[in-house]
Amino acid sequence: MNRKRIAAASVVTLSLAACTFALVRANGSGDVPTLVVTESEFRRQVTAEGELRAVKSTPINTPVRIRRPIRVATLLDNGSLVKKDDVLVTFDPTDFETELRDGEAMFGTSRNDLERLDLLSGAVRQNLTLDAAQAQREYDAAQQFTKKDAEIFSRFVVIESQIDQDLALRKRDNAESTKTTRGQQAAAERQITEIDRRKAEIKLEGAREGLDSLVIRAPHDGVFVLKPNPWDGELVKLGQTVWRGFPIGELPDLATMEAEIFVLEADAGGLKAGIPVTLVVESSAARGHAGKIKSVEPLAKPRMRGVPVQYFSAIVEITKTDQAVMKPGARIRATLTLEKLDKAIAVPRNALYDRKGKRVVFRKEGSRFVPVEVTLGSASPGKVIVEKGLKPGDVIALTAPDDAGEGAS
């Protein structure tokens, strides 16, 4: 009899346990991982890549005194340490030496032409002056000994005397006119030769300036860094033809460095000047360096042509420059703290769901999980701040209860 009662009691107990388990599963509380809501420090951090550069840097360009294209003869290796007055670049002098010889020949020829013109013009002017003086004397003599008296001289002699006077006058006038014309012609020829001489002087001046500018020396100590040109992004090479003002490289001052970093547009919310940054130089990854954002470009742009991903460029002011590891062009990784709160309620993203267009979490109330609408704030890659709807001590589901449906955020 006792065995029957014990057996019956066991069946009732198992039946109640089965009903209770079924109720828990039905209410979504069975095997649901949960999280107790607490207030804690919240940081929203993003990472970015970039490179170091000097705050102050002296550009190294082809001298503007070089007035023609010229070839690079020698070029210091990229990244070379230099002292003041060390030779950075030299250029091929062949073209300037040829131009100098041509200019000297042109100048000598024009100078000889000027001397010849001056001598010839002087001789012609002197001869015409003599001719005019002789004609004047003949005219004076003809007037003095004119034969006008018809009673004394025959008509033929009178006419001949008048013709002699007219001829002497015309010879004088012609000599004066010719002297003026030849003088103007000589002046024009001299001006043309002066132009040729000036052209030769300009050629000589350009050649001498070019020869004097064939060597570029370091204006101060630093690291010589070749600079990609803005047209094709290529570095200058030996034998390449360049022109005046062409960008060759730069000589950065290593005492103070900064970094240019690129932040993904999707991660750049809150990116502004003053944001703290921790930098790691890839060649010395064991040590971090503190800094802060100095400026941010207003528009996001692609970093590489043909790649549509947009980045915001930002300049990082480094608190202290470590010259032992910080070199211009060195690759760096940056961690930016875009937001920091001493106390905040932050929940994992997988605890958030959409219900009829509203953001909800499932808060445990007794043995059930009840959807509670929440107001969200800032987000990090793994967590989202809940500004309204939860309080410390609440228990929320980390996965959807059985009756929650789909829609995890």
- Token pair listed for 347: 């929940």
Task: Say if residue 29's pLDDT is above 60.
Answer: no
Task: Say if residue 134's pLDDT is above 80.
Answer: no
Give CA–CA dist 275/260, Å, rounded.
Answer: 14
In what helix (H) or strand (E) does residue 175 lie, and over which residues does it extend? helix 155-212
Q: Which pLDDT band, with edges at 50, 70 and 90, does 168 fall under?
A: confident
**Which strand ranges, in their side-by-side order, compose the sheet holding 215-217?**
215-217, 87-91, 70-75, 241-242
Length of the chain measured in residues: 409
CATH code of the domain made up of 47-54+254-340:
2.40.30.170
- Average pLDDT value for residue range 126-155: 68
| Cα–Cα nearest to 113, from 39, 237, 200 | 200
- Token pair listed for 401: 């209860």
Give CA–CA dist 364/29, Å, rounded.
Answer: 8
Separation of CA 135 from chain center: 78
Residue 227: burial class (beta carbons within 10 Å; 0-12, 13-18, 19+): middle
- Average pLDDT value for residue range 167-186: 77
Higher-pLDDT residue of 405, 229: 229
Q: Which residues contact 339 (CB under 8 A, 6 or more apart)?
A: 42, 43, 44, 270, 378
pLDDT at site 151: 56
pLDDT at site 169: 76
pLDDT at site 392: 92
Task: Say if residue 150's pLDDT is above 60.
Answer: no
Q: Which pLDDT band, with edges at 50, 70 and 90, does 153 fall under?
A: low
Contact 83, 221 (CB under 8 A): yes
DSSP for 115-130, please give it: HHHHHHHHHHHHHHHH
Max avg pLDDT among 43-47, 139-143, 219-223, 273-277: 273-277
Give CA–CA dist 383/392, Å, rounded.
Answer: 16
Using DSSP, state whether 290 is helix, strand or coil.
Answer: strand
Q: How far is CA 118 from CA 104, 114, 124, in A?
A: 21, 6, 10
Higher-pLDDT residue of 359, 25: 359
Task: Say if residue 10's pLDDT is above 60.
Answer: no
Contact 82, 60 (CB under 8 A): no
Percent of residues, the chain, with pLDDT higher than 70: 86
In what helix (H) or strand (E) does residue 216 lie, and over which residues does it extend? strand 215-217
Tell me phi and psi for residue 119, to 5 degrees. Answer: -65, -45
Using DSSP, state whether 339 is helix, strand or coil.
Answer: strand
Which of 122-136, 155-169, 344-358 has the weakest average pLDDT? Answer: 155-169
Question: Which residue has tokens 């101060």?
Answer: 220
- Average pLDDT value for residue range 43-56: 88
Which of 73-87, 177-191, 376-390 has the weakest average pLDDT? Answer: 177-191
- Average pLDDT value for residue range 335-352: 86
Using DSSP, state whether 119 is helix, strand or coil.
Answer: helix
Contact 71, 375 (CB under 8 A): no
Max avg pLDDT among 89-98, 119-128, 160-169, 225-234: 89-98
Give CA–CA dist 217/82, Å, rounded.
Answer: 10
* Model pLDDT for residues 226-270, shown as the tens digit of each residue: 888 777 778 889 989 988 888 999 998 888 899 999 999 988 888
pLDDT at site 231: 72
Contact 391, 17 (CB under 8 A): no
Q: Which pLDDT band, with edges at 50, 70 and 90, does 19 fall under?
A: very low
Which of 54-68, 155-169, 329-343 has the weakest average pLDDT? Answer: 155-169
Strand 87-91 to 257-264 pairing: unpaired
Which of 15-24, 25-34, 230-239, 335-344 has the weakest average pLDDT? Answer: 15-24
Which of 1-15, 75-89, 187-201 has the weakest average pLDDT? Answer: 1-15
- Number of CB atoms found within 10 A of residue 18's CB: 10
CATH code of the domain made up of 57-92+214-250:
2.40.50.100
Which residues are bridge partners to 54 per DSSP? 257
Helix, strand and coil percent figures for the chain, each rounded to 5 = 35, 35, 30
DSSP code of 382? S
pLDDT at site 9: 35
pLDDT at site 157: 62
Which of 16-30, 75-89, 189-203, 376-390 has the weakest average pLDDT? Answer: 16-30
Percent of residues, the chain, with pLDDT higher than 90: 21
For the entire predicted model, the pTM comes to 0.51
